[in-house]
Structure 1
């Protein structure tokens, strides 16, 4: 984090990224002294209500973060910033989004947790739009012009007031990651399953070290002492109350419970009861330390694509075991009426043998279990996300597949990503094809494939 004193003293000359969070109520004019180099400007966590009309004097500005400020309107000066591609105004007080505030090269727009009830039609006139995050607003409908955004891949519209998913949305050729929980349109979680979840009293838990933290909550290692039973090490996830970019943390908790049991899911052991601050939480299986994230989160440059370690290479059996596990668990979720909404490598834990677990249900949504056109479309949107994942695995696979098997997998990947949503295969078909290829790859590599 930089300081205002450094900026005013000229000590930041030539930097490409500036991070200022120091209670600002006005935009420091000294920022314009960085015009020759500044590309990323982060003014989050201040008390700003406006930006200067001449912001376009920062000609190289590509990324602007102004989250956790006091804006009531998306500033129109953004629309005159020719190089600006990413705009983030999460957790402000924004009620109005003028069409003129949308920069021409807009690729990634974050307006999570505001007070927006209407979006301009100009939003659909931004052909580079790839990632749109609108959870936690007051939207009753989306601009029909978004149907023209053929590059849109990730859409977060959870926790709004939408009563339907428009048909054009279900036909977007590139849409892969969709979250819409917490709207009137959503099918509700199974109340019986939620009620049958084992209650675990807070007094039975001895909380140990923190294992991780995400947007929706904090995970600790804990020791659970059930009455009359042997104590066991578990993972404890305590959910935060605030809105995340995906939606409500409580919706995530309900999805975790409703998902049920599957070899490629982390088992939910129970729901905590009696937390001293009434915090919601789940007790889950503790994952062995041999498991690690398959990929890293998308970067500012990659936008909707995960970042993989440069050196990552996977044997054919391991890559196919991961792909098969994820296809199997996705098919299971769809049968329960759940779309994961964030099917990504960074949400997959795997070990060296290819055993894998799909986590992070923050973007999960519920849909009808009946086989309808809408249900199939929602499921096939997620199939495209899997197709992208499969392509990433194939790009890192070591030799070990026959030419026929490789061609089969490449054809499957292309079918999963084809622009006609309903023309994509379902996960049960995908699972069958991968199982056949996996058995062949294991036979070629080892003469067999153990569990």
Structure 2
């Protein structure tokens, strides 16, 4: 029996979460029967263009997804739901965002891939806002009132029409993850094609799929280097569609522009002559003993990664991981690239402290901007590093050397300073960690 039938026959009474994707053109009134328990409602992948005027009857609703529908306006009735903290209307046709649609509890707003050219000043009154995802719209500016959103940590404004970043953005005390590629302000958003070899598709034998993300699919492959020589590689084929972080071609440009570093996944070349014209990269194949350091945030954690229960690291492993990621970030910044998504879930590690920073889907180019802005952007990423270091330190195995542990804690607090100008750059962070790594106390 399908979910809609179960709903209409009263068999979902008491449910806290409801997912309905069945070509709905109208909001099912039976959903109101769940008003006293329903907390998460997912109506994505339907044909909806409006919500009922009495939508506020869902007084316990915390999360609403209505992606891939036909809305042209963010429904004002959302403002009737006092506990609604996460709103997702990705890939609709939204042009207008009324102030009435914003809720005081709002923590996470997703309006990716719409037609929005302006946001209401009242968005700045959503002082609990932590995630704001606006990639793929028509925005030229953000409301200055957003400067009051001091809890904002993640901002996605890629693939819009910004000619500059607002100055107040750099003073947000908690901003850590920023993506803005694919805007006019990034005049040269692509690495030159001749920077790396072009590898013919017919020289690749595609094997099993290794994974799939928002921007592309990764396969294991064998690269025929010559009549005899062959090597195992990973091949990432880009889907070509906008993601929540931005445009796949921006990710590809950043991967190429990153160059070689021991803590980045090496790019061997870009694909040429794909039969369907797809873009892709040939990359280093990662050893099977490498795994994601953590899982991505969930609906409750919002901006914080989820670690497996019982996860713990020796102090020595924490120092090695921190030094490796600081070194990779230092390298990227020197090459004019902001990673934009420096998170544990984008770090592969093998349990001994060896790690690789991956996923450039949110990367942006910083070269060519005002020098003061370049350093300000780098210090935003330093706060992301502070969050990572805090997560690792809370999972440090004891006993550990008190002096080394204290030194790491002081570094973390320095990187997390609410005044972004007081934070160190990664060149300094790398040097501090290098000294700690050389210390016998840190293992």
User: What is the TM-score of this pair, normalised by structure 1?
Assistant: 0.96
Distance in structure 2 (CA, Å) of the matches to 1:161 and 1:142: 11
Count residues with an aligned counterpart. Answer: 443
Distance in structure 1 (CA, Å) of the matches to 2:318 and 2:224: 38
SS of the aligned residue for 2:218 comes to: strand
The CA deviation at 1:228 is: 3.4
Matched, 1:9 2:9: yes
Matched, 1:394 2:393: yes
Matched, 1:70 2:70: yes
- Counterpart contact for 1:2–1:18, Cα < 8 Å: no
SS of the aligned residue for 1:333 comes to: helix
- Find the counterpart in structure 2 of residue 449 from structure 1: none
Matched, 1:79 2:79: yes
Matched, 1:53 2:53: yes
Distance in structure 2 (CA, Å) of the matches to 1:435 and 1:229: 42
Distance in structure 2 (CA, Å) of the matches to 1:160 and 1:324: 35
SS of the aligned residue for 2:236 comes to: strand
The CA deviation at 1:370 is: 7.5
Distance in structure 1 (CA, Å) of the matches to 2:199 and 2:287: 22
C-alpha offsets along residues 376-435 of structure 1, whole Å, 9 cap, x if unaligned?
100000000000000111111113543222221111111111111111000011011111
- Counterpart contact for 1:14–1:38, Cα < 8 Å: yes
- Find the counterpart in structure 2 of residue 228 from structure 1: 227
Distance in structure 1 (CA, Å) of the matches to 2:205 and 2:9: 50
C-alpha offsets along residues 198-223 of structure 1, whole Å, 9 cap, x if unaligned?
11111111111111111111111111
- Counterpart contact for 2:222–2:230, Cα < 8 Å: yes
C-alpha offsets along residues 136-169 of structure 1, whole Å, 9 cap, x if unaligned?
0000111110011000000000000011111101
1:221-260 maps to which residues of 2 (within 5 A)?
Answer: 221-260=220-259
Distance in structure 1 (CA, Å) of the matches to 2:442 and 2:151: 39
- Counterpart contact for 1:2–1:19, Cα < 8 Å: no
The CA deviation at 1:80 is: 1.0
Structure 2: stretches of 5+ with no match in the other structure: none
Distance in structure 1 (CA, Å) of the matches to 2:398 and 2:169: 39
Distance in structure 1 (CA, Å) of the matches to 2:151 and 2:255: 30
C-alpha offsets along residues 345-384 of structure 1, whole Å, 9 cap, x if unaligned?
0000000211100000000000126781100100000000
1:102-251 maps to which residues of 2 (within 5 A)?
Answer: 102-189=102-189, 191-192=191-192, 194-251=193-250
CA RMSD of aligned residues (A): 1.4
SS of the aligned residue for 2:87 comes to: strand
1:235-384 maps to which residues of 2 (within 5 A)?
Answer: 235-368=234-367, 372-384=371-383
- Counterpart contact for 1:315–1:400, Cα < 8 Å: no
Distance in structure 1 (CA, Å) of the matches to 2:132 and 2:429: 28
C-alpha offsets along residues 256-287 of structure 1, whole Å, 9 cap, x if unaligned?
00000000000101100111111110010100
Distance in structure 2 (CA, Å) of the matches to 1:368 and 1:212: 32
- Counterpart contact for 1:349–1:357, Cα < 8 Å: yes
Given the superposition, is the C-alpha separation of residues 254 and 191 from structure 1 closer, same or farther in structure 2, using an over 3 Å criterion? closer
- Counterpart contact for 1:91–1:113, Cα < 8 Å: yes
- Counterpart contact for 2:404–2:442, Cα < 8 Å: no
User: What is the TM-score of this pair, normalised by structure 2?
Assistant: 0.98
The CA deviation at 1:444 is: 3.6
Structure 1: stretches of 5+ with no match in the other structure: 447-451
